[in-house]
């Protein structure tokens, strides 16, 4: 992250992909107790990505289990068709993939009309330029650090220059936009992503595999990210 840019608050947004799907409400409550800032639902349709996960009713069933916000990562084709349902289910932030709709600008406007906050996601091969004309519509840009569809994949470190490019673009335009990263984020990778400019961290596997439990994993990830921000800012 360019040292002339003020660091943005670190937010931990766990993926529930590794959670026990037979008790998702309890799993959300355990994440909230562990100190996460919000919960990300990885919505997959089996078309945009080769996996199938949560419909809006599943998310709605978990809404009352926690107080923290929900966000829906819409890894789906034609997100326009269902996005209103995810807003109604209690997702306060909807993340639309730039690659998933022909009319991205209109789709992000539809998210805002549905009463949700809008964000846009970029797959690894998609350039920052794909979103430069919709930055005025979003509060966050998600830079995927894996190819979407599954948890537990290896972090793609070559996304760090892309994160830095996006951070610079957002700063040069004076926009109040978070940068989220998703995929392979853990103790060994969070510093690179954060130093490049990310401040919202999606993690799944790394949180659930910590032998000291979710609370330790969340605190450790946050501490490592904040240390990396301080280092980058001091550089």
Q: Considering only the stretches 30-38, 131-139, 142-150, 214-222, report the one whose residues sit in contact with ligand DX5 under the rule CB under 6 A.
A: 142-150
Query: Exactly one of 87, 146, 196, 201 binds ligand DX5 (CB under 6 A); which one?
Result: 146
Residue 45 CA to residue 81 CA, distance in Å, equals 12
Annotated active-site residue 42? The verdict is yes
Q: Considering only the stretches 19-27, 81-89, 143-151, 162-170, report the one whose residues sit in contact with ligand DX5 under the rule CB under 6 A.
A: 143-151
Nearer to ligand DX5, 17 or 166 (CB): 17
In whole angstroms, the minimum distance from the beta carbon of 149 to ligand DX5 comes to 5
Binding mask 76-115 for ligand DX5 (x = CB under 6 A): ----------------------------------------
Residue 81 CA to residue 76 CA, distance in Å, equals 10
Query: Exactly one of 119, 190, 196, 203 binds ligand DX5 (CB under 6 A); which one?
Result: 203
Query: Exactly one of 7, 35, 152, 187 binds ligand DX5 (CB under 6 A); which one?
Result: 152
Strand partners, 73: 42, 95
Annotated active-site residue 45? The verdict is no
Instruction: Report phi then psi at 66, rounded to 5.
Output: -140, 165
Query: Exactly one of 90, 183, 192, 197 binds ligand DX5 (CB under 6 A); which one?
Result: 183
Query: How long is the chain?
Result: 235
Q: Is 151 in the site for ligand DX5 (CB under 6 A)?
A: yes
Q: Is 182 in the site for ligand DX5 (CB under 6 A)?
A: yes
CB contact at 8 A, 196 and 161 = yes
Q: Considering only the stretches 30-38, 117-125, 164-172, 180-188, report the one whose residues sit in contact with ligand DX5 under the rule CB under 6 A.
A: 180-188
Query: Exactly one of 1, 10, 12, 17 binds ligand DX5 (CB under 6 A); which one?
Result: 17
Q: What is the binding site for ligand DX5 (CB under 6 A)?
A: 15, 17, 42, 73, 75, 146, 148-153, 182-185, 202-206
């Amino acid at each position: 992250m360019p040292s002339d840019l003020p660091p943005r608050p670190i937010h931990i947004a766990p993926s529930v992909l590794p959670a026990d799907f037979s008790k998702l409400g309890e799993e959300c409550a355990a994440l909230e107790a562990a100190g996460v800032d919000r919960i990300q639902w990885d919505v997959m349709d089996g078309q945009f990505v080769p996996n199938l996960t949560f419909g809006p009713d599943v998310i709605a069933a978990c809404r009352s289990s926690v107080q923290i916000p929900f966000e829906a990562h819409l890894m789906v084709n034609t997100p326009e068709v269902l996005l209103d349902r995810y807003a109604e289910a209690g997702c306060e932030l909807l993340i639309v993939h730039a690659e998933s709709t022909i009319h991205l600008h209109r789709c992000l406007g539809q998210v805002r009309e549905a009463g949700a906050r809008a964000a846009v996601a970029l797959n690894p091969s998609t350039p920052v330029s794909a979103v430069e004309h919709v930055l005025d519509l979003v509060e966050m840009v998600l830079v995927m650090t894996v190819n979407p569809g599954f948890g537990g994949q290896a972090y793609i470190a070559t996304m760090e220059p892309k994160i830095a490019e996006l951070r610079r673009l957002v700063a040069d335009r004076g926009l109040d936009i978070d940068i989220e990263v998703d995929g392979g984020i853990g103790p060994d990778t969070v510093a690179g992503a954060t130093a490049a400019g990310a401040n919202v961290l999606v993690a799944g596997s790394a949180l659930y595999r910590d032998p000291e439990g979710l609370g330790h994993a969340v605190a450790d990830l946050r501490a490592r990210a904040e240390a990396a921000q301080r280092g980058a800012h001091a550089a």
